Amino acid sequence: MSSSDDDTTAPWVPITKQTDWQDLEPIEQPVSLSPVVAIKYTTQVKELYSYFRAIRAAKELSSRALWLTQELTAVLAIQVIYVNSADYTAWAYRWQCLESLGNLDDEMVFIKEMASRSPKNYQLWNHRRKFAFKRGASHAQEELAYAAECLAEDAKNYHAWAHRQAIVRHFGLWQQELDAVHELLVEDVRNNSAWNQRFFIISESAIFPDDRADELQFVKGKILECPYNESSWSYLRGLLNLPDMKQQHGLLGSVASFTLQVLEATPSCPQALTLLGDICTMGTIQERKKCLVQHLHILQELHNADPLRSAYWKAQIQHLVDEMHATA
């Protein structure tokens, strides 16, 4: 291979001059006679992709094919992935090579290097996920720790949260993740990402009783702690919409009573009024019809209590008035 195997800053050695590539005929990119916008590729990029096409056409899964995919992700660094780190075809072919060769020992070095270059690269995170699954449960904690490091730098890092979900789901680490998320909410009850992760656990795992009574008490306590927190109200709304929760007799009435208690302490709280209005739209058709007048009153209150979205609430009021006329 080229000298870049050992030193990513070394001058580029053309593949045509490397003895271990002499048996492969490169495949040039087809040239359009009248391209709309011609892409000005560098000589290195043209060569790399010509050999990448050739090695894919030959369906060769070898060490040199693995090296080539590495070259294709960042200019003059290690190879197709060095030139273009978003090239999902190169990433996919690299994974095929790894699986065929059966040697994953050095891949984490490459993954970490690419993460330092492009930490929010979708293809990189997907590659790391497949790599983590292949290594097995013994390395699951390492993956969660890495995701935690990323979240410490950026609490809204979508890739890190998605990676945590994939690892938790694949290895069944539900209780551990619930405990971790609980600590995050103790630190900051407004952490919307933590609420979202908690709902992921609640909705996909089987570690909670069907009635989720404890979970209802938990979110109610967090709402009382911070009544104007949009995240906790959204979480409660999500619980009410879970299939098994919808079947619970008297649940909507119980949550409505709780919401009214919140409104007594914090009058005109938009989040509480919004949930109360949503509850009016749940239940059977007969139950919804009985709530029309109450729902209209709630929307009118929201129009005054939530001036930033007054136009939205005005439209909702008009929609409900039209519905009332239609059912009169």
Known catalytic residues are: 120
User: How crowded is residue 132: how many other Cβ atoms within 10 Å of its Cβ?
Assistant: 23
N residues, the chain? 328
CA 121 to mean position of chain CA atoms = 13
User: How crowded is residue 303: how many other Cβ atoms within 10 Å of its Cβ?
Assistant: 17
Q: CB-based burial of residue 243 (10 Å sphere; 0-12 exposed, 13-18 middle, 19+ buried)?
A: exposed
Mark 1-33 as b/e (b = at least 16 C-beta within 10 Å).
Answer: bbebeeeeeeebeebeeeeebeebebbeeeeee
Tokens of 214: 């404890």
Residues pairing with 74 in the sheet: 82
Query: What contacts 116, CB < 8 A, 6 or more positions away?
Result: none
Q: How many Å apart are CA 293 and CA 297, to the nearest integer?
A: 6
CA 287 to mean position of chain CA atoms = 37
Tokens of 123: 């293809």
